[in-house]
A and B are shown apart, each in its own frame.
Chain A
Amino acid sequence: MAELALRSLTKAYGQTEVLHGIDLEVADGEFVVLVGPSGCGKSTTLRLIAGLEDTTSGAIEIGGRDVARLEPAARDIAMVFQNYAIYPHMTVRKNIGFGLRASKLPRADKKERIAEVAEILGMTPLLDRKPSQLSGGQRQRVAIGRAMVRDPAVFLFDEPLSNLDAQLRTQMRLEIKKLHQRVGTTIVFVTHDQVEAMTLADRIVIMKDGHIRQVGTPSEVYRNPADTFVARFIGAPSMNLIEGRADGARVALASGGEIALARGGGDVLLGVRPDDLHPVEGPALIEGRVTVQEPLGPETLIYVETSAGEVIAKADGRVPPAVGSTVRLGAAPEDIHLFDRQSGLALA
């Protein structure tokens, strides 16, 4: 186990810079998830940590040692790939043992270590099977086993659940979380799925266009998004953003309504999550006509066409407003976020 630090890390392919000076500190034993849309640089960051790509500049420190110029094998890391990368011509035993291929451990110790890892992952009865005889989840476990067997300082996971079906993904997510609680190794996990990020991470790193946009606990990035990108990326459905103008005491919405908020000034975007926006009887933030209902059981999502565009709100699942009806929507002031319309940054 070890802490990991990225310092002013950049990566360029020819003239095109794809990572623009990433700074990140991961504590010993922490589970950090890099999340962002395709092309944001999250996988590149992971590959730089692994040593599969050369850095253009900056430092990568594992356990206080700069490993940026070291070969992948010398970095004391292990990686689980998106498509498992388990060798089809080897049995599960050999695949797991392959992680120890370059190790100087005595043969008996290697055997013991393989058996131990197989036991942890529940793969003992399958040790003599070939990957073609395994299910997707079992293959993923073999890939994790091959990483675990080396007892590395840092585990790297590159979208390991994206090839699994929804049910198996949920199950494996839980298993990875339990595994982390059991072994306590530092983990850097890459995903584009914000639900995966929220459920797994101690801290989430949200990336876009080669920059880190926010680092925080799942609750922090959900409750206090640093900008409109994070606000819309985290949480499903995405946060509603409504144009308005703030004067330090109130925010007048472009759609006509207004709300007392002693925050910000000038042109703003008022953000409110669908979870926090509900039909109300009294003074409303905004009103419009219900166009679509999405029943979720206890609650129903309603899509409301307003003069500020479409907004999504959450209504009681037992008596949701009918499609075509007009609803008034309101939110508690503490659930309303304000962003500068120009920069997109959150206003305190």
Chain B
Amino acid sequence: MTDAPLTEIPERVKPSSDALLAKPRRGPRDNAQVIRWILLFLGGVLMVMPIAYMISTSLKWPHEVYNVNLIPDEPTLENYTYVLEDGRFYNWFWNSLIIATLTTISNLFFDSLVGYTLCKFRFPGRTLVFIAILSTLMIPTEMLVIPWYLMSQQFGWLDSYWGIMFPGLMTAFGVFLMKQFFESVPDDFLEAARIDGLNEFQIWWEVAMPLVRPALAALAIFVFLGNWTAFLWPLIVTNSVEMYTLPVGLSGFGDEADVAWELIMTGAAISTIPTLIVFLIFQRFIIRGVVMAGLKG
């Protein structure tokens, strides 16, 4: 032990003044890091540009829309005033909100219920059922649209919320995702609950579901965003302007002669707000959920 104050640096570890003044040498690892940053920056720019142009266009007058300049010459909030004063916008916004919310709730319930069943119960044909569900992922939406339409027509579902929602109330992707996550829930939890007297539905709801919250958050955001931005099917199944969803309604801004891009971009900019809110609420779950989904492969 020495009596030197604790803050004093022992002589043998003091850096020399030369060492302090010398510039650190750049090695191959540093160069690779710089290249990585450049690539990430370019990727970031690519991702941000459409959003920047959306906001930029929403602040432009109609005659300036086709100028590629990012900063409008004469910025205006006139488009926002126009869109927000147009009663149809609220109607479409509400339609989209109802549809995206109900579809998300439905997916969270049914996808996880089916995923849990396929994961935790042994019954004849289990693998076959799972393969059958997964195989529907290989059928493109364009192929399904006609049967969906004919079905909606026969059941009288055209131009209704139910007609817009029914194809997406449960998804093969969601079932697959939830099944993979339930694999990580140890059977001991379920068996302990079984011994404690819970029935199978209670075990799923009270024990298994809270343990896969990250997956539920990830699924919620995927489904909500998917339905919030859905265009093709709502366009086909709806006839009246009142039943349009936001993407369908916005696409109709303008007249036969021209598309009013500044209004469409304004509506799009406003419509991103709910998705941003959902993301901000769920982001810690979503990021964890996506990472776990990646690990589960």
* Interface residue ranges, A against B (CB under 8 Å): 50-52, 71-73, 77-79, 81-83, 85, 87-89, 98-99, 101-103, 146, 150
Contacts and interface: CB of A to CB of B under 8 A. Distances in A.
Contacts, number: 52
Given A83-B186, A85-B188, A87-B189, A101 B196 contact: yes
B208 to A, nearest CB: 10
Contacts of B165: none
18 contacts: A50-B195, A52-B191, A52-B194, A72-B195, A73-B196, A73-B198, A79-B192, A79-B195, A81-B188, A87-B189, A87-B211, A89-B211, A89-B213, A98-B196, A101-B197, A101-B198, A102-B196, A146-B196
Contacts of A51: 195
B197 to A, nearest CB: 3
B124 interface: no
A72 B195 CA distance: 5
A82 B194 contact: no
Contact of A73 (B195, B210, B211, B213): B195
B188 A73 contact: no
A82 B196 contact: no
Contact of A85 (B191, B197, B210, B213): B191
A50 B191 CA distance: 10
Interface centre among B186, B192, B207, B211 (most CB of A within 10 A): B192
Given A73-B198, A81-B188, 11 more contacts: A77-B195, A79-B191, A81-B192, A85-B186, A85-B189, A87-B211, A89-B210, A101-B197, A101-B198, A102-B196, A102-B198
Q: How large is the interface on B (under 10, 10 to 19, 20 to 34, 35 or more residues)?
A: 10 to 19
Given A87-B207, A88-B211, A89-B211, A82 B188 contact: yes
Contact of A102 (B186, B192, B197, B210): B197
Interface string B198-221: 100000000100110100000000
B189 A73 contact: no
A73 B197 contact: yes
Contacts of B191: 50, 52, 72, 79, 81, 85
A146 B192 CA distance: 10
A79 B188 CA distance: 10
Contacts of A81: 188, 191-192
A99 B207 CA distance: 13
Given A82-B188, A83-B188, A85-B186, A99 B211 contact: no
B11 to A, nearest CB: 43
A81 B194 CA distance: 13
Contacts of B188: 81-83, 85
Nearest to A82: B188
Contacts of B196: 73, 98-99, 101-102, 146, 150
Contacts of A101: 196-198
Nearest to B192: A85
